[in-house]
Amino acid sequence: MFKVLIADKLSTEAEKIFTDNGLKVKTKTGLKEDELIQELNDCDALVVRSATKATKKVIEKSKKLKVIGRAGIGVDNIDISSATDYGKVVMNTPFGNSITTAEHAITLILSTARQIPFADKTTHEGKWEKSSIKGTEVTGKNLGIIGCGNIGTIVAKRALGLEFKVSVYDPFLQEEKARELGVKKISLDKLFSQSDFITLHTPLNEKTKNIINKESFLKMKNGVRIINCARGGLVDEIALKENLDNGKVASAALDVFVNEPPTDSKLLGTKNLILTPHLGASTTEAQEKVAIQIAEQICNFLKTGAISNAVNTFSLSAKEYNLVKPYLRLSNLLGSFAGQLTENAIKKIELEFEGQASKVNTQPLLQTLICSLLKPTFDNVNIINAMSVVKDKSIDVTEIKHDRVCEYQSCITLSITTDKQKRSVKGTLFGNKPRIVSIKGIKIEAELLKHNLYISNEDKPGFVSNLSKILADNNINIATFHLGRKDSGGEAVALISTDNFIDNSVIEKIKKLPLVIQAKYITFDD
């Protein structure tokens, strides 16, 4: 009989699902690390929310443990790396709180429109501020949504019901999908300039960090209202405070912060600012949903081997894993590389496996590559749900296998078609180490490190020296430098690995060089 330890408070309905499926359940909350290890001694599964920490020590010592289930999205309390190393599947429930978070955003939108917190506070104080509290109608107003994934889509539908005029900035949203939803897809600058309300529903990454910043506010209407229930760090908090203080922003509402809790934040006490303590997922219904979902997922895994919403693995035998492991690293490299460079909606993904790469189980390679390709844009994507995401986004995926040997013993080629262009990147293995060997048909042989600079430029004298000077002036040490070109004087690419992070200000200087077509900082975990 399989045994499950529920280490954080979970609904009785979830417990019933376990017992109905023949699993033995024990519930013990508030356990310290050593106590948790002791209780897991005879358990096959661990269920947590956010309080219990599944540390490296816990995972290492829990020999019988097969799966860790998180009733919710965030897995910061679980050592994912250790779980992977020790063969423990980690599952979460990424979609269980989407409605709840979207409803909270709508609530804050309406609260900013009518000054609800101030009206409530002053009335409780015995005051009657009716004449000084003037709100604004939302009917007919322009709502700009940054990010139209699962939560953003729900917000859009609710907003349309309130008779907002809804516009969306989302490079990965297909025009057809936008039309079906009833929203207008526009550029970020246009969203800033025409929106009366702006709400954010996008993941936090290098592309979206401080997506609303000092320069953004200059493009906005006077009296704009800002709502963020997505991720702390999407809005420059200092710039927001300045624009609240000077009246550019009529009001704002934040449920998320750069540092949580924001006990030392300069935002505290700011007039016309609503703050809530990360309540996006905090409803009875949402907590019930995620509890039931994780119980069902764990039961299916233990009884049938099925894996749902895994954040660290996919279904493979030990023998298969040893065969595909180096190709998994290569797939991740190619996908991540292309994903960080892609700035427009993807319409088609083509994957070509040649030589030895075509003879292994390519499904995990396909899912790994697509996952890493989409991850810069979709924070809920994982190896398991990657194919569902591309289907939902109406992205066509084509897989081709060739037994033939290319220039190398094995090759994987990723080709991406977007609204504006088609690009490709090819990789191979040198031993078991992944290498990029072609970009846009331009031959280049490079091993990428953690910090990298990608440049597309015109092949003219002076480029390398000008680039090197900028890097040297900013104390950026070059680890490797790889160049390739189509022909003399034509398009060229450079892949440069550095010893340190490259700040965006440096990237902007490189972009201004006369011969540069594109410049991007790219980072990898490995």
What would you measure as the largest C-alpha separation in the chain, in angstroms?
Answer: 82
Sheet with 451-458: list strands edge to edge.
478-485, 491-498, 451-458, 516-523
> 162 with 138: CB under 8 angstroms?
yes
CA 108 distance to own-chain centroid: 23
Q: Which residue among 13, 260, 285, 508 is the active-site one? A: 260
What letters, b where the CB count within 10 A reaches 16 and e where it falls short, cover 170-192?
A: bbbbbeebbeebebbbbebeebb
The answer to whether residue 70 is catalytic is: no
* Burial label, 472 (beta-carbon count in 10 A; 0-12, 13-18, 19+): exposed
d(CA 426, CA 59): 37
The answer to whether residue 278 is catalytic is: yes
> 384 with 310: CB under 8 angstroms?
yes
Q: H or E stretch including 332?
A: helix 318-341
Q: Which residue among 231, 237, 352, 435 is the active-site one? A: 231
Instruction: Of 259, 268, 322, 315, give the one whose Cα is nearest residue 91.
Output: 315
The answer to whether residue 329 is catalytic is: no
Strands 197-200 and 224-228: parallel
> 300 with 310: CB under 8 angstroms?
no
Q: Which residue among 114, 158, 278, 482 is the active-site one? A: 278
Instruction: Of 472, 474, 452, give the one whose Cα is nearest residue 521.
Output: 452
CA dihedral for 376, 377, 379, 385, sign (positive or negative)? negative
The residues that are catalytic are 231, 260, 278
